[in-house]
């Protein structure tokens, strides 16, 4: 298979409500030569049907962002891989960035982040997220991590853990090279913050990070972050 400059891997699970809007802005990048891969974790709500004409390739795997993103990367032809959540939008300026990565041998990096909601608390949270990631060289999945494909395969991709895969891979990558941080931010949906409550979500994320730092199993942390669906939702 001939290489393309960039493969964008979008992990999804039952995202029928937002998938069309998520994929529409990426069509201009497909037109410029990027490859768009949908990594599905077993959607049963029509996500695949709504997405199939807007992507280049579809791969299915067990659910779990790490597993799905690794599956997407395994069939990618791009010289760089970019992992993009379905509720995150790349900056409109993103196009020439790929040439910069290629020309400057960028190993990996991520974007600053803006949250979509209007609450002043969200402005504080996004500022803190950007500051923390810049200081620690550790990105969250919302920041759309990108990495040279050869390096990704060299480190065997994301660790197959239920949560904190973004933190884990960042810590591995930062031992190899400092991240390149893009100037313009991605915009990620604030839906989970607003659904759970902004302050409650901040406290939950701090608790999860603390748990991961002191060695709590990512599987146990995932059960806290992804509670079982109520009986009426099953």
Q: How far is CA 92 from CA 25, 96, 178, 185, 187, in A?
A: 8, 11, 25, 10, 10
Question: What average pLDDT score do residues 186-215 get?
Answer: 75
Question: Is 90 exceeded by the pLDDT of residue 214?
Answer: no
Burial, 207: exposed, middle or buried (Cβ in 10 Å; 0-12, 13-18, 19+)?
Answer: middle
pLDDT band at 228 (very low <50, low <70, confident <90, very high): low
151-162 pLDDT tens trace: 999 999 999 888
Question: Is 90 exceeded by the pLDDT of residue 231?
Answer: no
Residue labelled with tokens 């599956």 = 71
Instruction: Determine the pLDDT at residue 96.
Output: 67
Burial, 209: exposed, middle or buried (Cβ in 10 Å; 0-12, 13-18, 19+)?
Answer: middle
Instruction: Determine the pLDDT at residue 93.
Output: 86
The H or E element that residue 121 is part of is: helix 120-136
Find, among 23, 42, 43, the residue nearest to 34 by Cα.
23
140-191 pLDDT tens trace: 889 999 999 999 999 999 998 888 899 999 999 999 999 999 999 999 988 7
Q: What structural domains does the chain harbor?
A: 4-233 (3.90.550.10)
Q: How far is CA 164 from CA 42, 142, 159, 216, 219, in A?
A: 21, 12, 9, 11, 10
Find, among 135, 229, 117, the residue nearest to 126 by Cα.
117
């Amino acid at each position: 298979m001939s290489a393309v400059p960039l493969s964008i891997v979008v992990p999804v699970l039952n995202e029928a409500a937002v998938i069309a809007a998520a994929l529409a802005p990426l069509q201009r990048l497909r037109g410029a030569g990027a490859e768009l891969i949908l990594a599905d974790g077993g959607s049963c709500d029509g996500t695949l049907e709504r997405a199939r004409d807007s992507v280049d390739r579809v791969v299915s795997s067990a659910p779990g962002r790490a597993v799905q993103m690794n599956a997407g990367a395994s069939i990618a032809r791009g010289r760089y891989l970019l992992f993009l959540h379905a509720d995150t939008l790349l900056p409109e300026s993103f196009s020439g960035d790929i040439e910069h990565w290629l020309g400057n041998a960028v190993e990996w990096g991520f974007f600053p982040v803006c949250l979509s909601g209007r609450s002043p608390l969200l402005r504080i949270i996004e500022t803190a997220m950007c500051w923390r990631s810049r200081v620690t060289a550790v990105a969250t999945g919302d920041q759309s991590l990108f990495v040279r494909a050869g390096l990704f395969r060299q480190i065997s991709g994301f660790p197959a853990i239920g949560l904190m895969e973004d933190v884990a891979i960042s810590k591995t990558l930062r031992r190899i090279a400092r991240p390149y941080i893009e100037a313009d931010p991605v915009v990620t949906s604030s839906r989970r913050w607003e659904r759970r409550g902004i302050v409650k979500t901040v406290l939950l994320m701090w608790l999860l990070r603390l748990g991961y730092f002191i060695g709590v199993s990512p599987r146990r942390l995932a059960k806290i972050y992804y509670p079982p669906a109520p009986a009426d939702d099953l």
